Amino acid sequence: MNRENLALMPAHIRKIPQAMFSMYSYRKGQDITPECNSVGCIIGHCTALDPNPLPRWGEGGIRFCDWAVKFTELVGDEWKWCFSSKWLTTDNTPEGAALRIEWLLNNGLPENWVEQMNGTAPLCYA
């Protein structure tokens, strides 16, 4: 886990209007410009925090998952807790996304994270 990079994300995410945020889509149309004013999830919006070149599919779109793994060093369940599109139906808000990252940094992965993500257990960060 890259704690330093993860710690940058909550403040950035909180600035995103709800109308420009969706846990379902990295960036509408996989645009090649990260600041394209399209709807995006945590990953899509937070590419702006990285001064390094973004991984791309040849001359095409950004490889968002590859970027997220490299930038955050999260994999598996921790990655899903922060970035899964399944949050779309449970907590599809920039504030919730920021709180999940902060929870992970401060408390680790909750034991019942899957139930929280699926809406069958109360959110520990609410």
In degrees and rounded to multiples of 5, residue 109 shows phi and psi of -75, 125
Categorise residue 30: left if φ over 0, alpha if ψ from -120 to 50, beta otherwise: left
**For residue 93, is it within any domain?**
yes
Contact (CB, 8 A) for 18 and 95 = no
- Please state the pTM of the whole predicted model: 0.87
- In the chain, pLDDT over 90 holds for what percent of residues? 57
Give the domain extent around 29: 3-118
**For residue 123, is it within any domain?**
no
**For residue 126, is it within any domain?**
no
**For residue 82, is it within any domain?**
yes
Number of domains comprising the chain: 1
**For residue 124, is it within any domain?**
no
Mean pLDDT computed over 71-78 = 95
Which region among 13-22, 49-58, 62-71, 89-98 has the lowest average model confidence (pLDDT)? 49-58
Distances (CA, A) of 73 to 1, 5, 50: 5, 9, 14
**For residue 85, is it within any domain?**
yes
Six-digit token string for 33:
């410009």
**For residue 20, is it within any domain?**
yes
